Amino acid sequence: MRDLMWPVASLVGTTILYYLCKGHYKRTRQFWCTPLLAAPVIVVALVVVLHIPLPAYFEYTHWLVALLGPATIAFALPIYRQRHMIARYPLTIIAGVVTGLILGLVSNWGYARLFHIPGDIALSLLPRSVSTPFAIQVSAKLGGMPDVTALMVVLTGVIGMLVCEPVYRVTRVKSAHARGAGLGSASHGAGTAKAHELGAQEGVIASLTMIFTGISMVLVAPLLSRLFM
């Protein structure tokens, strides 16, 4: 009986905390309450403070992680709904995806070398600008640590939301399509949510750029793994 206490409490607690954070953020819109940041921070703090053994924490919560697979498939819905946008501006979307993909890989690798980051952590950094379900797949394929990648993806999302407005002001990016593509390719789901706040056009382009960048990164991962290993 005692053996089941932490696993059940972990699953129920993580889920309830997430929905509490989400509800609170919806009401207050305070940045630090975003479930992207607040929920993981509170859960990690509880695990540490309560001395919950990690294997017990993961015993049932790994079912939550398993839902990332179906969540990947769910991206078919926005592709279907925005098919006319894709047909109208294919080059715009391809340009965003290709630039984001190459810049993401090259800049992460370059900066990791510059800051003397050890190899396995650097590999975990490479796919961080794409959405988590894609990033975790790519990280495993490249020989990185998928858990570390998940953390980097979360932090990238938070940073993208924070820096986008000053960055776009300084660089004078005006068109909705460019703002959306930048957010979608640099900071995946969080960037897409932010893009929806900037405008409807921004949001649509951001979500399409995010999805196709994720898919392309998974597709080129086998090639990359040969390059880096």
Partner 1 sequence: MKFINLLYTVAQVALISALLWICNLVVAHLGLPVPGSVLGLGILALLLISGAIPEKWIAIGAAWLMADMLLFFIPPVVAVLKYRTLLAPCGLGLIAILIIGTATVMIGTAWVVDRVFVLEHRRYQEKENA
Of the two residues 1 and 30, which places its CB atom closer to partner 1 in the complex?
Answer: 30
Whether the CB-CB separation of 211 and 132 falls below 8 Å is answered with no
Which residues from 88-107 bind partner 1, rule CB under 8 A? Answer: 88-89, 91-92, 95-96, 99-100, 103-104, 107
Of the two residues 29 and 88, which places its CB atom closer to partner 1 in the complex?
Answer: 88
Rounded to the nearest angstrom, the gap between the alpha carbon of residue 160 and the centroid of all alpha carbons in its chain is 10
Closest approach of Cβ 8 to partner 1, in Å? Answer: 14
Closest approach of Cβ 1 to partner 1, in Å? Answer: 23
Give yes or no for residue 163 binding partner 1 (CB under 8 A). Answer: yes
Q: Is 76 exposed, middle or buried (0-12, 13-18, 19+ CB in 10 A)?
A: exposed
Whether the CB-CB separation of 195 and 181 falls below 8 Å is answered with no
Rg (the chain; Cα; Å): 18
Give yes or no for residue 181 binding partner 1 (CB under 8 A). Answer: yes
Task: Choose which of 6, 33, 85, 137 interacts with partner 1 (CB under 8 A).
Answer: 137
DSSP string, 168-199: HHHHT---HHHHHHHHHHHHHHHHHHHHHHH-
Of the two residues 1 and 118, which places its CB atom closer to partner 1 in the complex?
Answer: 118
Which residues from 51-80 bind partner 1, rule CB under 8 A? Answer: 54, 57-58, 61-62, 64-65, 67-80
Q: Helix, strand or coil for residue 98?
A: helix
Give yes or no for residue 142 binding partner 1 (CB under 8 A). Answer: no
Q: Is 210 exposed, middle or buried (0-12, 13-18, 19+ CB in 10 A)?
A: buried
Give yes or no for residue 35 binding partner 1 (CB under 8 A). Answer: yes
Task: Choose which of 152, 195, 204, 208 interacts with partner 1 (CB under 8 A).
Answer: 152
